[in-house]
Amino acid sequence: MRSVQTLQSNLSFGEAPRWREGEGLYFSDIHAQRVLLQRLDGELEEIAAFDGPISGLGWLPDGRLLVVSMHDRRLLRRDADGVFRVHADLSPVATWHANDMVVDRLGVAYVGNFGFSIAPRREEARPANLARVSPEGRVSVAAGELWFPNGAVISPDGRTLIVGESAGRRLTAFTITEEGELVDRRLWAQMPDNAFPDGICLDEEDAIWVASPPTRELLRLAEGGAVLERLETEQMAVAVMLGGPERRTLFVCTAESTDPEFCRATHTARLLAIEVDVAGAGQP
C-alpha cells in the first residue's frame, strides 16, 4: 500500500502535468483557465490566465512556454516579453477541441484533439488526427485515424512516440523519423478490463504509468499490456507525471467529474503525490 499525499484539493480540473527541473510541476487547471506551478518549496503559483480552457504544455528549446488553447484550437507561445502569441493554428488538422501535447527536444510539438464532441452533447465517436507543429509553427498531420489521441510520451532517445487513444482503449506507438514524421504504427498495449488511457508518463524501465478515469486507477503497463502495478484513486485519475528530486514522485491529477459546469462551480479536483520505485525516464 503506497502512501498518497494530497498537494492541492481545490482545483477545477487539473491536466497535462509536466516536470521542470529546478522549478517544479507545471500543470493546466482547464476550467479555471490557468497554468499553475507546484513549486519545489510547496507553494502554488499561477503562471498565466487565459480567456478559455487550456490543456497541453511544453517548451521550445529556448525555454519559451507552449500552451494548447482548446476551443479555438490554437497553440500559444509565451515570448520573452511575457506575452502569449499564436504559435500555430491547429484548426485545419484538429476536428474538435485541441487537447494534450508532447514536445520533443527540438521543439516539435505533437498535439491531439477530441475528434468529436463529448459535452454538453456527446456525438458518435469518430477518428481524429494527431497534429505535428514545427518549431517555427508550421502545422501538418503527423498521424490520422486515431481514436481520441490523448496523453503522449517520447522515448529519451527521441525515436519513439507513444500516444493513448482514449476511445480506442489502447496505447499506440510510432517510430519518429529524422524529419519528425511518424511511421511504423503499432499496438504498444491494449488497456485491460474497462480502463482507457488519459494522461501517461514513461519510466526508466520503459514502462508507462496510465491514468484511467472510468476505473479510478493508475496502471503501470509493460509493452504488450502486462499490468505491473495498479493503484486505486478516490476520484477519477486524469493525468500523471514522474518528477521530484529523484524523479520517483508520481504526480497525479484527479477529478470528481468531467462536466465543465460542475468543475467550475465546485473546485474539488486534486493534485496528488505518490512515491514509486522506478524513476521517470529522461527528457526526450
Determine contact, residues 251/243, Cβ cutoff 8 Å: yes
**Separation CA 62–CA 96 (nearest Å):** 30
Domain locations in the chain? 4-275
Instruction: Write down the pTM of the prediction.
Output: 0.95
CA distance 89 to 93: 9
Amino acid at position 184, single letter: D
- At the top level of CATH, the class of 4-275 is mainly beta
pLDDT (tens place) for every residue of the chain, 284 residues total: 789 999 999 999 999 999 999 999 999 999 999 999 999 889 999 999 999 999 999 999 999 999 999 999 999 999 999 999 999 999 999 998 999 999 999 999 999 998 755 655 666 777 999 999 999 999 999 999 999 999 999 999 999 999 999 999 999 999 999 888 999 999 999 999 999 999 999 999 999 999 999 999 999 999 999 999 999 999 999 999 999 999 999 999 999 998 889 989 999 999 999 999 999 997 65
Find out whether 241 and 18 touch, Cβ atoms under 8 Å.
Answer: yes
Distance (Å, whole) CA 180 – CA 110: 10
Residue 235: all three cell numbers together:
476520484
